[in-house]
Structure 1
């Protein structure tokens, strides 16, 4: 039983390697937590998760209930649809939601198994399904004839890529621009997460099978996952964020992860790391596209952003210095400024 719990806690901290990264025993973990909480915090007191829009339920094509919210529901000139990343929720766009309120109709939704959305069947926790979910969100939250800008972070960026693959006829007509933030078009099984080379190789070899085995007992893991939350918090800080990130923002990311269904955590991770090619990005060149990477991103490293740029030569490429995978929570002003620039260029194109 102890071995099983250790395995589940390792899975909760996102993969076999994370336990090694956080090694050193309970005393070392406590010291690390103390250092994190004592760090200067530019967002102390920030009311993360408090911004709300008009609830707009969405029914996916397989019957799963998805939760969406709309800001600026009276706007029909332009819609910006935000897709969040793995183990997050629509609230991860907290700063952009506030900064872009005057830019059009803003649509935020929780991916299946995340936030306030239902989970659906386990065999639907895969990247191909998310493209169809996004199509259903657009159809049910954006009035016909309103042009759409798609914004995706991490797994949300993969959702946008797969959407473009599945619905190429909507690119350039219904969907007029896209922003892919801290994401990848494939090869995530090779990412080292900053681990030593030998450990990284062992993790890559064993993680897919481990995720499937542990995923079969995800309902049991739900009951004990709270035991590993300090480890997940440290994992978020060391791997998901860049150096010196706000402790409040890190804790908020950990809370979103804790609120994500365990079967979604495990099975979406399995889908991402076992797709050698997530998308060939053959159609995103039809629309104005922004690629946003980050210097210290260990989950979707800058090399993946550069690879995306090679697949979409017409895209505008920006790499943010001194931040990690959670760029929109680490340097929100820069992310919001780049999105505003994309929206402005899109409006200019529409006016031509």
Structure 2
């Protein structure tokens, strides 16, 4: 009788690649949207962002991606572009829309693993809304920039992958591109944390230069305890494996990039589940988020993760009480549940100094700015009107 051989053992490295590939996706999704598609797509997105749209062939996929918003309509081109040098020499990519001498400047700060492209809908809607002064419409200049290591901006030393450094970068952008006049800050996810970091490091700006703020789908701390909507057993597994995945992304980025290509379908599905609240979200939106995140190298993702997981800005919100503030989230956000927004509102209003507006968008997930763009744009417009009305009343008084 022929001897039966046991089935070959699964190669440990293959098993590790599968686990790390899946966890790389989950780790990157920790605060923004999830790891995306292949490195080929990442190179394409980064090449597109670094080239002016006018230089791209109109019929090429690259030209269409750069010129189009998530649903294929024409995007609002920038009136001005600039590079701002951070305090450590990193160059930050900036785009502006609207008159340079507008009486109000609105600065948009994007989230973890994303880019300024995440504001595509708000960029188009608010540019049309604020292009000219008309009745009660405030006139404003819109400023968008890529955070360090993201989009078209440069990378810094790993040790500078902190909220404090991101806050310093935001301050530098303000000093360089809006050195005078009132400013409203709008931040999504890590962008909101960046604004809170600026409030902690430069509180004197709030109530003087910074006259309003919007915090979308963000948190002031305790991110390490998030479950992302996963069952308890998987949450424990994530906690055990995340350090391995983070080490791999930082010290073996080529291997990590390869494993996220292998797990591309899995992590793209995770992007959809973790980023959007609706089960029938337009696939174009999922692909759009995938393409943005694919442009963020895995080692950058890993370098910023500890800063986010260890964040605690709960006790540093006092400067924001001095200005009108919008807090907005989706009621199906499993990345940063609405309880985090509720805590921010509680901290902002506990002294009665600032009646923060709190909006919960039904059916929306973490990428509420893409999933419910009209609601977000309308809320931002109301905030700007509130800011302008308040400043006008103060001037008359």
TM-score where L is the length of structure 1: 0.87
Gaps of 5+ in 2: 1-12, 35-68, 131-138
Aligned to 1:13: 25
User: d(CA) in 1 for partners of 2:29 and 2:292?
Assistant: 21
1:203 corresponds to 2:238: yes
More deviation in 53-62 or 323-332?
53-62
Answer whether contact 1:208 1:270 (CA < 8 A) is retained.
no
More deviation in 87-96 or 218-227?
218-227
Q: Which has the larger radius of gyration?
A: 2
User: d(CA) in 1 for partners of 2:188 and 2:156?
Assistant: 22
Q: Which of 326, 329, 335 is the aligned partner of 1:293?
A: 329
Deviation at 1:213, TM superposition (A): 4.6
The 3 A distance-change label for structure 1 pair 66 and 222 is farther
Deviation at 1:268, TM superposition (A): 1.6
Question: Secondary structure at the residue paired with 1:106?
Answer: strand
Answer whether contact 2:167 2:197 (CA < 8 A) is retained.
yes
Aligned to 2:378: 337
- Describe how 1:176-255 pairs up with structure 2 within 5 A: 176-208=211-243, 210-222=245-257, 225-243=260-278, 244-255=280-291
Deviation at 1:247, TM superposition (A): 1.0
1:108 corresponds to 2:140: no
- Describe how 1:302-341 pairs up with structure 2 within 5 A: 302-313=338-349, 314=354, 315-341=356-382
1:98 corresponds to 2:124: yes
- Describe how 1:32-181 pairs up with structure 2 within 5 A: 45-47=71-73, 51-101=77-127, 102=130, 103-142=139-178, 144-181=179-216
User: d(CA) in 1 for partners of 2:184 and 2:198?
Assistant: 13
The 3 A distance-change label for structure 1 pair 146 and 216 is same
Gaps of 5+ in 1: 23-42
User: d(CA) in 2 for partners of 1:48 and 1:212?
Assistant: 41
User: d(CA) in 2 for partners of 1:145 and 1:17?
Assistant: 37
The 3 A distance-change label for structure 1 pair 16 and 149 is closer
User: d(CA) in 2 for partners of 1:232 and 1:205?
Assistant: 19
User: d(CA) in 2 for partners of 1:211 and 1:44?
Assistant: 30
Alignment length (residue pairs): 328
User: d(CA) in 2 for partners of 1:341 and 1:281?
Assistant: 22
Deviation at 1:10, TM superposition (A): 2.3
RMSD: 2.3
TM-score where L is the length of structure 2: 0.77
User: d(CA) in 1 for partners of 2:23 and 2:227?
Assistant: 16
More deviation in 319-328 or 210-219?
210-219
User: d(CA) in 2 for partners of 1:44 and 1:85?
Assistant: 17
Answer whether contact 2:275 2:367 (CA < 8 A) is retained.
yes
Question: Secondary structure at the residue paired with 1:74?
Answer: coil
User: d(CA) in 1 for partners of 2:312 and 2:216?
Assistant: 19
Question: Secondary structure at the residue paired with 1:337?
Answer: helix
Aligned to 2:295: 259
More deviation in 259-268 or 223-232?
223-232
Deviation at 1:74, TM superposition (A): 2.4
Deviation at 1:110, TM superposition (A): 0.4
Answer whether contact 2:148 2:156 (CA < 8 A) is retained.
yes
Question: Secondary structure at the residue paired with 1:13?
Answer: helix
